[in-house]
């Protein structure tokens, strides 16, 4: 019998820097049994800074230089928490997070990089830091497009004349030229010369910038940033419609506020990459400093340190001896020159030209491919003598979390016909979103239960999604949530990790239910093979709750969320969904729908939430219960970004084929119509004459609403136009 190894230690990686990304790749190839891995990073993608100038110049697409942390974490069996670290409590061994409860650690490592800090009057309003990449790149693309159309003057200023600032200046000048605009770019350096390179490399960089028409001002101090110019101390103003701050690298301010040993805000570490004086902490990359071996801030050191960090993390978790890292004194610098030309510098020697750029391009792409080229999920083969039918089931698509591992509508409906008729006080029972009970005072109570096997490895986010999913049945009936009971299965783990996990779950469950006006009143826990979270919820309503049976001819169908979450989550479990798409879907799935319900319930004739049976199945349920036909409008149905391409490529959640068989739509060839949803949108039948007002009210409440079809007299038929 296969024995499951229990979790006993929590390893937390704070930041998605290059070293941590390489650790994740190695960890996935050989995980340490018993260690639970968590990654904390504000974004699902981590940019590879070596390719940023090439992206700005137009040589690389955004995807070319991004490390997909979602896929890497799936590969490594790690949970990814998309938020910022804002502190650390070393006494309690907690990492403090922005907008979320702390995460406990037994061992933690920091790789959060540095930031460009400019405390200049007007910079916050009129300037943009070179980091973070997403913000800078988006602003640059908008400026470039506006300059190319003559809507804004092509005046660019870069504050900071180090290698990074000069590379960005050349990249922006080249991009403007390529767009047919004559650039006016100025580099402003406080020091007497371009820093960080030898004299020979400096001369070659100055020559390249001169060829691009870039003006370099040294020994210049900026005193104020305005919308269209920079004011300099004792010098003429510099025109600047676009101002970039690239003046050196500064430590994150939150680190300076901690009790970590530090120098100028950078975490002090020893030769084993461990934080000085704390055996439970490590730090690597630009956020760290080695007092005994000071080195400049350069990504090459993080890359070279990664194997030692990986080894020492495992050693610290298992009680073994750590290794020592000795950073090299000389390293290769490859500097982009705007176009497809570059400089190579090492040991005081330099080479320049297109061949150097091709060499740099090969190195950069190899690094990205190393982190994004991950093995696909392989289902273990079962051999030997098998019972009849086993081989056929195993040959089908593996069970995934994209549909919450639910059974099909047909199978469920057949089973529900065996349920006894309800008691007098039970108004509706099996077959609707929730059971409706008539109370002695003439009001109504609804009760429903739902649970999900783990879609992701984050108990807190999984709890949020499961709670929203369960509350969807109450909201769909227009009822006010009352109480919730949790049903939790946690993987086998030590008592300490059980306590940490259950604390995270109950905190989030309490938060979600409280925000909905309900209360968590208890539940049941047990240990099993994987994380499973469910809720039994009740709600109340003074008048008869909405069901699927009240729709009227002429009603339009309004949907509040896109479809396609099932296919995206199925692809994520197989390891080939784009991290940005996965993160976007999970963020929406975790949002409550009380505002949507408050707008729709007073005017809807019927309402349900779109979940495991897919859009087609839930439209079919309204049609059959109401004795109507439906026409869906394909072009009006909202779809999650990335879902259509995955579906067209043949990716599907486990339940999709069953849904297609159970609720076929005439003309509905698109598999996404049958894609099972978790925490999907509300689907309401609303009088057509009120639909515009309803959509406007949803928008005013900060919600989405899409009219996707119309109901007519009929007998349960659903078609597509």
β pairing state of 444-453 and 480-491: unpaired
709 alpha carbon, distance to own chain's centre: 31
Cβ-count burial of 207 within 10 angstroms (0-12 exposed, 13-18 middle, 19+ buried)? exposed
403, 623, 699, 703: the active-site residue: 403
Q: Would residue 403 show up in a list of annotated catalytic residues for this protein?
A: yes
Q: What are phi and psi of 707, to 5 degrees?
A: -80, 115
CA distance 77 to 112: 21
Which has the closest alpha carbon to 193: 205, 183, 184, 185? Answer: 205
CA distance 15 to 95: 12
Q: What is the 3-state secondary structure (H, E, C) of 21-89?
A: HHHHHHHHHCCCCCEEEEEECCCCEEECHHHHHHHHHCCCCHHHHEEEHHHHHHHHCCEEECCCEEEEE
Which has the closest alpha carbon to 120: 240, 9, 230? Answer: 230
Measure CA of the first residue to CA of the last residue in the chain; give whole Å. Answer: 53
Q: What are phi and psi of 627, to 5 degrees?
A: 65, 45
Q: Residue 215 is encoded by which pair of tokens?
A: 């003006």
Q: Indicate the DSSP class of residue 605.
A: S
Which has the closest alpha carbon to 196: 305, 302, 335, 352? Answer: 335
Q: Residue 586 is encoded by which pair of tokens?
A: 């999970």
CA distance 399 to 403: 9
CA distance 527 to 497: 12
Beta bridge partners of 281: 108
10 Å Cβ neighbour count for 142?
12
C-alpha distances (whole Å) from 11 to each of 37, 68, 478 are 5, 20, 43
Cβ contact 326:308 at 8 Å: no
CA distance 358 to 444: 71
Q: Residue 471 is encoded by which pair of tokens?
A: 């509350």
Q: Residue 52 is encoded by which pair of tokens?
A: 């940023």
C-alpha distances (whole Å) from 683 to each of 21, 152, 230, 476, 698 are 41, 45, 53, 8, 13
**DSSP three-state, residue 251:** coil
CA distance 370 to 18: 12
Among all chains, which residue has been given the structure tokens 């020492």?
312
What lies within 8 Å, CB to CB, of 258 at 6+ separation is: 87, 88
Give the residue numbers annotated as catalytic, written as ranges: 403
């Amino acid at each position: 019998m296969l024995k499951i190894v229990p979790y006993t230690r929590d390893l937390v990686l704070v930041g998605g820097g290059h070293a941590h990304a390489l650790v994740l790749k190695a960890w996935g190839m050989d995980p340490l049994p018993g260690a639970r891995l968590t990654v904390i990073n504000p974004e699902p993608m981590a940019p590879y800074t070596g390719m940023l100038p090439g992206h700005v110049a137009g040589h690389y697409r955004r995807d070319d230089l991004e490390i997909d942390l979602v896929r890497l974490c799936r590969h490594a069996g790690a949970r990814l928490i998309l938020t910022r670290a804002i502190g650390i409590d070393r006494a309690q061994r907690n990492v403090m997070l922005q907008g979320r409860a702390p995460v406990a650690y037994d061992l933690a490592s920091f790789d959060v990089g540095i930031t460009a800090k400019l405390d200049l009057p007007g910079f916050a309003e009129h300037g943009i830091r070179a980091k973070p990449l997403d913000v800078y790149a988006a602003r640059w693309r908008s400026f470039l497009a506006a300059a190319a159309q003559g809507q804004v003057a092509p005046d660019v200023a870069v504050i900071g004349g180090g290698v990074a600032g000069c590379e960005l200046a050349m990249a922006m000048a080249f991009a403007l030229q390529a767009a047919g605009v004559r650039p006016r770019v100025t580099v402003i350096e406080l020091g007497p010369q371009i820093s960080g390179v030898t004299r020979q490399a400096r001369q070659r960089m100055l020559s390249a910038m001169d060829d691009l028409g870039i003006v370099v001002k040294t020994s210049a101090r900026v005193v104020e940033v305005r919308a269209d110019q920079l004011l300099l101390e004792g010098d003429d103003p510099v025109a600047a419609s676009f101002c970039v701050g690239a003046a050196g690298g500064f430590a994150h301010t939150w680190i300076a506020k901690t009790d970590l040993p530090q120098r100028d805000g950078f975490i002090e570490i020893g030769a084993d990459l461990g934080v000085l004086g704390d055996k439970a902490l490590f730090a690597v990359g630009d956020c760290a400093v080695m007092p005994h071996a000071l080195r400049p801030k350069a990504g090459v050191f993080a890359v070279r340190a990664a194997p030692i960090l990986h080894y020492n993390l495992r050693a610290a978790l298992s009680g073994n001896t750590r290794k020592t890292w000795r950073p090299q004194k000389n390293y290769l610098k490859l500097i982009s020159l705007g176009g497809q030309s570059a400089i190579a510098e090492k040991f005081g020697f330099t080479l320049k030209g297109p061949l150097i750029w091709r060499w740099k391009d090969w190195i950069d792409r190899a690094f990205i491919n190393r982190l994004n080229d991950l093995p696909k999920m392989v289902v273990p083969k079962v051999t030997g003598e098998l019972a009849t039918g086993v081989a056929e089931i195993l040959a089908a698509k593996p069970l995934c979390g994209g549909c919450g591992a639910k059974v099909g509508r047909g199978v469920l409906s057949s089973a529900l016909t065996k349920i006894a008729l309800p008691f007098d006080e039970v108004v509706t029972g099996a077959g609707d979103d929730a059971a409706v009970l008539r109370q002695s005072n003439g009001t109504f109570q609804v009760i429903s239960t739902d649970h999900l096997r783990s879609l992701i490895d984050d108990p807190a986010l999984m709890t949020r999604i499961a709670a929203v999913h369960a509350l969807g049945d109450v909201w769909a009936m227009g009822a006010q949530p009352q109480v919730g009971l949790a049903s939790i299965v946690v993987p086998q783990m030590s008592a300490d990790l059980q306590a940490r996990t259950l604390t995270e779950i109950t905190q989030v469950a309490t938060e979600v239910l409280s925000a909905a006006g309900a209360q968590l009143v208890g539940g049941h826990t047990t240990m099993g093979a994987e994380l499973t979270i469910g809720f039994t919820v009740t709600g109340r309503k003074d008048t008869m709750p909405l069901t699927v049976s009240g729709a009227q001819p002429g009603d339009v169908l309004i949907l509040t969320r896109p479809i396609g979450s099932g296919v995206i989550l199925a692809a994520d479990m197989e390891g080939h969904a784009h991290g940005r798409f996965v993160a976007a879907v999970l963020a929406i799935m975790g949002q409550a729908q009380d505002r949507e319900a408050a707008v729709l319930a007073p005017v809807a004739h019927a309402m349900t939430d779109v979940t495991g049976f897919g859009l087609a199945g839930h439209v079919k349920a309204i049609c059959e219960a109401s004795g109507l036909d439906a026409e869906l409008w394909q072009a009006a149905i909202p779809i999650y970004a990335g879902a259509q391409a995955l579906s067209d490529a043949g990716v599907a959640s486990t339940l999709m084929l069953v849904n297609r068989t159970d609720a076929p739509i005439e003309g509905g060839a698109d598999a996404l119509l049958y894609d099972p949803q978790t925490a999907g949108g509300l689907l309401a039948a609303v009088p057509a004459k009120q639909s515009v007002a309803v959509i406007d009210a949803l928008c005013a409440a900060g919600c989405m609403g899409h009219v996707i079809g119309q109901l007519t007299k009929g007998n349960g038929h659903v078609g597509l136009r």
